[in-house]
Amino acid sequence: MSDVLLALQAAADTTRAYGEFPVIGARGAVWVAAEVHLMFAAFVLGVPLFAVVAEAIGVVGKDQRYDRLAKEFTRLLLVAYSATAIWGAVLTFLLSTLYPRFWAYLTAVFGPSMWAYVGLFFFESFTLYLYYYGWERWHQGRSKVVHLGLGVLLNVWGTIVMLIANSWLTYMMTPPRDITPTTDPASIKLWHAIANATWMPINIHRLIANVVFGGAIVGAYASYRFLAAKTEEERAHYDWMGYVGNFIAISALIVLPFAGYWLGREIYQYDQSMGITMMGGFMSWLWVIQAFLIAVLFLAGNYYLWIGMGRIPGAERFRPYTKYLLMVLVLGAIVWGTPHTMIADARELAAMGGSHHPLLGALGVMSAKNSAVNLMILTTFLSFLMYRRANTRPVVPWARTGTWIQAGMFGVAALVVLYFGIKGYFVEAIVRIGYSVYQVGAVLACIVFVTTIDILMGRGAQSLGAIRWGKMPARSQYALFVLAVTFTWLMGLMGFARSGIRQHWHVWQLVQDTSKYAATPALGYAAKMISACVLIFLTLVAFVFWLGGLAEKSTFVPSSEKREKEGARVGH
């Protein structure tokens, strides 16, 4: 009898709570709209950060190349903003028609913040128009500073918009504990709902990830223009642009895992079962895939740098060492990607005595994985350092000592990582968790101190020759494409992980998903959905790139053309 009552209750809960969407279903439709909207949002938040920093470097360093670079990207933003808004509208309409009851709940809690969101988006758009269309008018003296201020303001609006949207989705994951299913949503204090347990970790994580994403997209754009370039000069310009994009993407990527770790820790602390679902339960396979993809990022990023050394006079001094760095990266990728619970058939399971390998299983736990990723970060940093130093020779009297100190710092950081990685096997879990902080601390300290020494040591350094921009083989540019595609796919994958751990809850333990889509999708289905979102986004971005070239000429100006123009000005 009780089963019948439960079924009746479920039917009553579900009536008019959900709509239906043809072919891919309601969940599929919202999934695609939310993910593509998010990817565009990351694009229009990451690229302005990139643009304003590039403009500032141009102003401070009096290097016009950076100013042109910033403008070229701001032009792409105009179209990308429209695409973001369109996908945002699609998402809103789909939510209100396919999930009306849940949407009503969310609007009851967050209504005023949604109005503010729309207002800020309005300000953001008009600041962007002023920023772009005022570029030539305000390009000198004090007006240039005002223009730079507009760029900063654009980022401020964009960041606040992101913070507001983040509060909605983090509330769905980690609503404050004092709110119960019977709490009237209209009675929940707005700030109380916004400042939930995962709001700030997500804010920081997304802010850094947007910089990474912006850099990667810039790199992909530059590689596309490099491959299509007609002249050596144009190739040199886009080679340089690709390098800058990659440099920013990889630099920000190095700190991204630490922000992700904080987010994961907050999820565990909020609700252990959610944390277990994410890391040890049925979502754990996503982390193996993630490890593999991040290993691809590290390998592709380093590969690009090593090929790039071919165009730097003096880099041949460092060439013999890159193979050892590669070995560390490959071994790190193998360790990081080793699953704890292995995919095995019955024969293999019987031979292993379960789904954990008796020997390799030791590589599937956090001690091994944290050590591997920290060593990969150190290796990537060393690649950067060699690249940076390639065409210079320090002349300060303490250069030799300084280099030894730097080497010592690398050695100490690697030893700290390995020491706590090995010790982690012999202590209980609660102690082991704390060890990752020491490992991260050692790596970060090494990065900060070694960079400081390097900057001081580089003062007045003897140049071994200028970088031969443009002298890059085409395959190096495909590495930049790989980076952009992998970053985009990773965003889709981790977005699914973050959203999927709510399982059959729209709002964790407050609003239950009683639709027929309440089951968590299989990995294969999820992979297809993520790939579809990535394909839609990249196709649209390619269209935006093409439009950028169609609307206006590239900001690259060949020197012959420049001379003609200058000649014309003189003539007048």
State yes or no: residue 503 binds another protein (CB under 8 A). yes
User: In the structure encoding, which two tokens stand for residue 31, read together?
Assistant: 């999934």
The one segment of 42-50, 353-361, 435-443, 528-536 that binds another protein by CB under 8 A: 353-361
State yes or no: residue 345 binds another protein (CB under 8 A). yes
State yes or no: residue 504 binds another protein (CB under 8 A). yes
Smaller CB separation from another protein, 175 or 402: 175
Kindly state the smallest distance separating residue 218's Cβ from another protein, in Å. Answer: 23
User: In the structure encoding, which two tokens stand for residue 513, read together?
Assistant: 């998903």
CA 71, CA 388: separation in Å to the nearest integer? 26
Kindly state the smallest distance separating residue 272's Cβ from another protein, in Å. Answer: 6
State yes or no: residue 41 binds another protein (CB under 8 A). no
Residues 516-555 contacting another protein, CB under 8 A: 520, 523
The one segment of 152-160, 251-259, 302-310, 387-395 that binds another protein by CB under 8 A: 302-310
Q: Percent helix, strand, coil in the chain (nearest 5)?
A: 80, 0, 20
The one segment of 4-12, 87-95, 138-146, 273-281 that binds another protein by CB under 8 A: 273-281
Among 354, 411, 441, 567, binds another protein (CB under 8 A): 354
State yes or no: residue 158 binds another protein (CB under 8 A). no
Among 5, 23, 359, 568, binds another protein (CB under 8 A): 359
Number of residues that bind another protein (CB under 8 A): 69
CA 478, CA 337: separation in Å to the nearest integer? 23
Among 9, 231, 273, 463, binds another protein (CB under 8 A): 273
- Asked if residue 196 lies in contact with residue 170, where contact means CB atoms within 8 angstroms, the answer is yes
Among 264, 361, 394, 492, binds another protein (CB under 8 A): 361
- In whole angstroms, how far apart are CA 1 and each of 13, 15, 514, 537? 18, 21, 21, 50
Kindly state the smallest distance separating residue 346's Cβ from another protein, in Å. Answer: 5
**CA nearest neighbour of 219 among 45, 554, 480, 474:** 480
DSSP 470-524: T---HHHHHHHHHHHHHHHHHHHHHHHHHHHTTTTEEETTTEE--STT-SPPPHH
Kindly state the smallest distance separating residue 131's Cβ from another protein, in Å. Answer: 39
Smaller CB separation from another protein, 211 or 329: 329
CA 31, CA 29: separation in Å to the nearest integer? 5
Smaller CB separation from another protein, 339 or 548: 339
Smaller CB separation from another protein, 47 or 368: 368
Name the strand (E) or helix (H) holding 552: none
- Asked if residue 485 lies in contact with residue 418, where contact means CB atoms within 8 angstroms, the answer is no
The one segment of 42-50, 351-359, 415-423, 491-499 that binds another protein by CB under 8 A: 351-359
DSSP helix/strand/coil, 399: helix
CA 100, CA 122: separation in Å to the nearest integer? 26
The one segment of 98-106, 252-260, 356-364, 553-561 that binds another protein by CB under 8 A: 356-364
Name the strand (E) or helix (H) holding 451: helix 429-457
Among 17, 49, 295, 378, binds another protein (CB under 8 A): 295
The one segment of 110-118, 276-284, 392-400, 564-572 that binds another protein by CB under 8 A: 276-284
- In whole angstroms, how far apart are CA 525 and each of 116, 376, 451? 36, 31, 44
DSSP helix/strand/coil, 392: strand
What residue type is 85 in one-letter code?
A: A
What residue type is 479 in one-letter code?
A: A
State yes or no: residue 362 binds another protein (CB under 8 A). yes
**CA nearest neighbour of 429 among 272, 213, 221:** 272
The one segment of 7-15, 387-395, 421-429, 453-461 that binds another protein by CB under 8 A: 421-429
The one segment of 69-77, 244-252, 347-355, 539-547 that binds another protein by CB under 8 A: 347-355
The one segment of 77-85, 294-302, 542-550, 558-566 that binds another protein by CB under 8 A: 294-302
Angle between helix 429-457 and 366-389 (nearest 10): 0
State yes or no: residue 284 binds another protein (CB under 8 A). yes
CA 530, CA 497: separation in Å to the nearest integer? 11
CA atoms within 13 A on the CB side of 538: 23
Among 333, 413, 530, 544, binds another protein (CB under 8 A): 333
State yes or no: residue 428 binds another protein (CB under 8 A). yes
Among 189, 319, 400, 565, binds another protein (CB under 8 A): 319
**CA nearest neighbour of 312 among 200, 476, 172, 426:** 476
State yes or no: residue 272 binds another protein (CB under 8 A). yes
**CA nearest neighbour of 380 among 322, 341, 466:** 322
Smaller CB separation from another protein, 265 or 388: 265
State yes or no: residue 235 binds another protein (CB under 8 A). no
User: In the structure encoding, which two tokens stand for residue 151, read together?
Assistant: 């760029």
State yes or no: residue 441 binds another protein (CB under 8 A). no
Among 448, 473, 535, 560, binds another protein (CB under 8 A): 473
- Asked if residue 434 lies in contact with residue 466, where contact means CB atoms within 8 angstroms, the answer is no
Kindly state the smallest distance separating residue 57's Cβ from another protein, in Å. Answer: 29
Cα-based angle 534, 539, 541 (whole degrees, multiple of 5): 95
Q: Which residues bind another protein (CB under 8 A)?
A: 268-269, 271-274, 276-277, 280-282, 284-285, 292, 295-296, 299, 302-303, 306-307, 310, 319, 322-323, 326-327, 329-330, 333-334, 337-362, 364-365, 425, 428-430, 473, 475, 503-504, 520, 523
